[in-house]
Structure 1
Amino acid sequence: MHGELRTVPFLFGADDGMWRNVMASSAALMSRKWVTGRAVGRRIEELDPVVGNEEATHLSLEVRYGDAIFAHAAYTVAFARQVAIPSIARILYRTGTGDMMHDVRRRNDDTLLFFGEMLHHGHSSEYGRSFIDRMEQIHSRFGITDDDKLYTLGSLAFEPDRIVEHLGLSVFTDNEREARFHFWRQVGEYMGLDVPQTRERFLRWTFDYESRYAHTDGARKIVDQLFVDWQERWFPGRTRRFADGILLSVFTEDLRAIHRLPEPSRGHRLVVPPAIGAYLAFQGVRPHRPHRSWSDHFGTRHPKPLDIPTLGHRKPIARTIRPTGESH
């Protein structure tokens, strides 16, 4: 109801002048080849976090802070949280037969491609929803409960904030956090889930659900595969010895404990937080392409246009849907 009330002025023209200004600002920003991080930040703050949650979340997670290494790191921590729930770990591990155990990089690329297309095209477009539908189609064979799906959405909504808070950093604004919540709330509602209607209630629900955390051997093996992908993807040659310590520093203490991971060295604990802080501060001001997406990096193994029904591990069963405006 809260979201519906916020949209009334725009739907019925009570603030037509303001709405035209907002739309003009968006068009001006998105028409540029490059735009500074500060300009992206100003645009995010102009947006209503309910009505404009799709644009705000795309600009925040894919444009301003959308470098592939940061997206992959945040995804890795969120995935480790998800498999700390034994019922989720059991489905993903599948006694060692799950995709995560045999081709972790492809599995991660495909998942990040799915999220990238949702973020880039929005949850309200036919094209964006076709990715949600495909994801649900793949998951339907495994009997995943609604609560486990809801926890997965919670990790996507809140993990960026939990990571920077754990590192002692201030990165995202209230508007960004609220818009991100509404983005994943509306994804969940499209999936038919009963999502708590405020960020505070959903965050509390997520923390309560984490009382189910327990160590399992399958989850630890999945997390080990996540670390392998992190090492091999970003740290060539002699730099690989730094990979584990950096990622361990991003994991919270409770998450390391559940998966029985080692503590990062004192050197990593001292160096990693300010280094990430400096990196994110630079991202916040440097020029970006306003249309960039996680898909640009993680979707390169697939020909374009994406044949959505063939993505994932099951056989194609439906037609291809192209983004609006793409030639056939």
Structure 2
Amino acid sequence: MATREKPRKWIDAEIEALDPDVDHARIWQLGNAYRTSPMILNMAVCHGFLRLVGPGSGARTLVRGGTGKVVLHQQRRIEGTMRAVWTWYLGEGAHDPSVRESVEQVNRQHDAWAGKYPDAILDVRQYTYTICVLAAEPHRVMQRLGLPGFSAKEQRAAHRHWSQIAGLFRIGSDQGVPVPADFDGMLAFLADFERNDYSTAPESNVVAEAMLQQFCDRWFPRPLHGLGRALVLSLATPELLAVHGLKGPRPLVARTLRRTLRTLITVQVRWAPDPVEVAPIRAAFAEPRPETPMGGRLKAALSGMRGQRPAPDGSTSTDV
């Protein structure tokens, strides 16, 4: 455990002293890598997956007819994702060799799957949406909890940090992912995408149930899986729940959970001593966690997916 050599409250002061156009990677790290925990980041990644599979096409690649890692090996899937995300959080931006190598691994994976599942390749808007979720979804979640979200400086830094990392991704043979001009543009793009590009797909429901099971299995004993599920879904908007066919917690439960999260974050930011080290994410996800048997909700989602076939108009019909 590190010996405290910093003031009791130092993170916001350091952010205030930095330039978002130059120090954007450090500002992102300060705002998002210290005052968090393995469970909270796992919950955020689970919520992010629900966002990213909203269009449906990306979910088909992940599910692969029920044989995908997200279905059969949820813990391994999330462990790899957490390691990649944490590298992007802690790296010094797009010029950092560790960030470049991590993104290139993702590019190679996407290239490999594109050859096997050409119909499920993400289009440009989906890539842009992914970058905007990484940059701006933490801000939106905090606002949904009733908190201010990112400061103006943090918003500018988030946009700069993720815009530069976006340049490392490939879409087919094209280098770089286009992003909006500023943070407000990212928020507007998210809203437009979720209004126009989300579509109900059985594979999306499978991914959602798989990620919810992963989170609950990792952090809660089985009798409390309902609490873990409610915790994640209390952050979701009604539109997000609807596109995945998920039932959110009862309104009173959702409000109570959001209020509890808001209180915990407020205490940490305003009064608790700031951590002097980043959260132990790598250590928490370094050792593989044993997989657990497939839960009832995930089995039902898979059964629903396998019992549906695409209709000529793009909707789904059920084989009887």
TM bucket by the smaller chain?
0.7 to 0.9
* Contact kept in structure 2, 1:35 and 1:290, CA below 8 Å: no
Q: How does 1:190-205 map to 2 (within 5 A)?
A: 190-191=168-169, 192-205=176-189
* Contact kept in structure 1, 2:216 and 2:229, CA below 8 Å: yes
Q: How does 1:36-115 map to 2 (within 5 A)?
A: 38-64=9-35, 66-115=36-85
Residue from 114, 122, 136 that aligns with 2:92: 122
Q: Which residue of 2 aligns with 1:159?
A: 137
* Contact kept in structure 2, 1:36 and 1:288, CA below 8 Å: no
Code of the aligned partner of 2:133 = S
How far apart are the structure 1 equivalents of 2:213 and 2:248?
17
Deviation at residue 301 of structure 1 after TM alignment: 4.1
The alpha-carbon distance between structure 1 residues 125 and 254, as it changes in their structure 2 partners (threshold 3 A), is: same
How far apart are the structure 2 equivalents of 1:267 and 1:195?
38
Q: What TM-score, normalized by structure 2, do the two folds share?
A: 0.78
SS in structure 2 at match of 1:153: helix
What is the Cα-based RMSD across aligned positions, in Å?
A: 2.1
How far apart are the structure 2 equivalents of 1:268 and 1:35?
39
Deviation at residue 138 of structure 1 after TM alignment: 1.2
How far apart are the structure 2 equivalents of 1:43 and 1:250?
29
The one-character-per-residue Cα deviations of 1:52-72 (angstroms, maximum 9, x if unpaired) are 1111111111112x2112211
Deviation at residue 240 of structure 1 after TM alignment: 2.7
Q: Which residue of 2 aligns with 1:179?
A: 157
Deviation at residue 199 of structure 1 after TM alignment: 1.5
* Contact kept in structure 2, 1:84 and 1:258, CA below 8 Å: yes
SS in structure 1 at match of 2:248: coil
SS in structure 2 at match of 1:172: coil
* Contact kept in structure 2, 1:117 and 1:295, CA below 8 Å: no
The alpha-carbon distance between structure 1 residues 67 and 34, as it changes in their structure 2 partners (threshold 3 A), is: farther
How far apart are the structure 1 equivalents of 2:287 and 2:155?
29
Code of the aligned partner of 1:40 = I
The alpha-carbon distance between structure 1 residues 55 and 41, as it changes in their structure 2 partners (threshold 3 A), is: same
The one-character-per-residue Cα deviations of 1:40-82 (angstroms, maximum 9, x if unpaired) are 1111122112211111111111112x21122111111111011
Code of the aligned partner of 1:38 = K
Q: How does 1:242-281 map to 2 (within 5 A)?
A: 242-281=227-266
Deviation at residue 116 of structure 1 after TM alignment: 0.5
Q: Which moved further from structure 2: 187-196 or 140-149? A: 140-149
Quote the sequence identity (%). 23
Code of the aligned partner of 1:188 = A
* Contact kept in structure 2, 1:54 and 1:179, CA below 8 Å: yes
User: When the two structures are aligned, how many residues end up with a matched partner?
Assistant: 271
Higher helix content, 1 or 2: 1
How far apart are the structure 2 equivalents of 1:37 and 1:149?
40
Q: What TM-score, normalized by structure 1, do the two folds share?
A: 0.76
The one-character-per-residue Cα deviations of 1:195-241 (angstroms, maximum 9, x if unpaired) are 22212223222322221101111110110011101111111253333
Structure 1: gaps spanning 5 or more residues: 1-30, 303-328
How far apart are the structure 2 equivalents of 1:255 and 1:198?
24
Residue from 286, 306, 316 that aligns with 1:299: 286
Code of the aligned partner of 1:174 = A
Q: Which moved further from structure 2: 185-194 or 233-242? A: 233-242
The alpha-carbon distance between structure 1 residues 239 and 286, as it changes in their structure 2 partners (threshold 3 A), is: farther
Code of the aligned partner of 1:149 = Y
* Contact kept in structure 1, 2:8 and 2:274, CA below 8 Å: yes
Deviation at residue 290 of structure 1 after TM alignment: 2.9
